[in-house]
Amino acid sequence: MALILLICRAQVAQWVGSQTCSWKVAGSIPSSANLCPGARHFTLSCSGGMSLYLQMNRAPTSGYEVDVGSRTTHHVMYPETAQDVDNITSLVLLPFKILDLQWLPGAVTTGTNITFSYTNLRPKINANKDLVKVVNPAFMKYIHEVWLDYQGSYPSTGFMALILALHICDQVNVYGFGKDRDGNWHHYFEPLAYKNLGTGPHPGDYEYNVTMKLSEINKLQIYKGW
């Protein structure tokens, strides 16, 4: 998945009330200058109020603070990409299958005996069980059917984060979203192993076109970063 930084002014209800949201998702780093005047980190909002910083899957902040900042308030993951989070960060589970929901309770408490799906799973992760949030699986189905017209096998996590932001935020700014100039999605924290990777099972072209259309009709502001 590509890097997506969503900075939005929001009425976010159960998240933090009326606040400013800043979302970050693993991927390629925008090559533009600082996105907020006077700010060093790409993920800082220019407006006041509390911010949300969402990190996706295996994306680290350590060692990349200049580009992605150092704060994480919500870490979105599924079992195959599970990471430890600190005690004040919310783990947000994006379940793709029933096994994901079965894995979660033990994984954030005493440990689970569910240790394999299509790859090895961590039996236990460090996370504050009282801050765990689960995205309703119906949300993925809704995006696949309504926003993507059944294209691809399933939506990318980046696109799901973008649509979630549109649902809870009044303004959304998107940075570095989509494929790079070679047509690949890759992570900023590791080299691209396969040059012809493309966008995998996700409908990358369709997601990109939807995002561009949303920008054209002023539902979001997009900065490609390349």
| Lowest pLDDT segment from 87-96, 125-134, 146-155, 190-199 | 190-199
Residue among 144, 186, 187, 202 flagged as catalytic: 202
Q: What is the pLDDT of residue 179?
A: 60
Could you tell me the pLDDT band of residue 143, with boundaries at 50, 70 and 90? Answer: very high
| pLDDT tens by residue, 4-42 | 344 444 433 333 333 334 444 333 333 333 333 332 222
Q: What are the structural domains, with CATH classification, of the chain?
A: 4-223 (3.90.1480.20)
Least confident segment among 48-52, 85-89, 103-107, 135-139: 48-52
Is 64 tagged catalytic? no
Q: How far apart are CA 28 and CA 46, in angstroms?
A: 22
Chain segment 150-194, per-residue pLDDT in tens: 998 888 887 887 887 787 777 777 765 656 666 666 666 766 665
Cβ neighbours of residue 88 closer than 8 Å, sequence gap 6 or more: 73, 128, 131
Question: Which entry of 154, 188, 208, 223 is annotated as an active-site residue?
Answer: 154
Q: How far is CA 42 from the centre of its chain?
A: 15
Q: Determine the average pLDDT of the residues in 76-105.
A: 93
How is residue 146 annotated by DSSP? I
Please, is 27 exposed, middle or buried when counting C-beta atoms within 10 Å of its C-beta (0-12, 13-18, 19+)?
A: buried
Q: Cα–chain-centroid distance for residue 192?
A: 19
Active site residue 150: no
C-alpha 28/C-alpha 191 separation (Å) is: 10
Q: Which pLDDT does position 75 carry in this prediction?
A: 87
Q: Is the pLDDT of residue 196 over 80?
A: no
> What pLDDT was estimated at residue 124?
98
For residue 114 the two structure tokens come to 């569910």
pLDDT at position 129, please? 95
pLDDT, residue 180, reads 62
Q: What pLDDT does residue 176 have?
A: 58
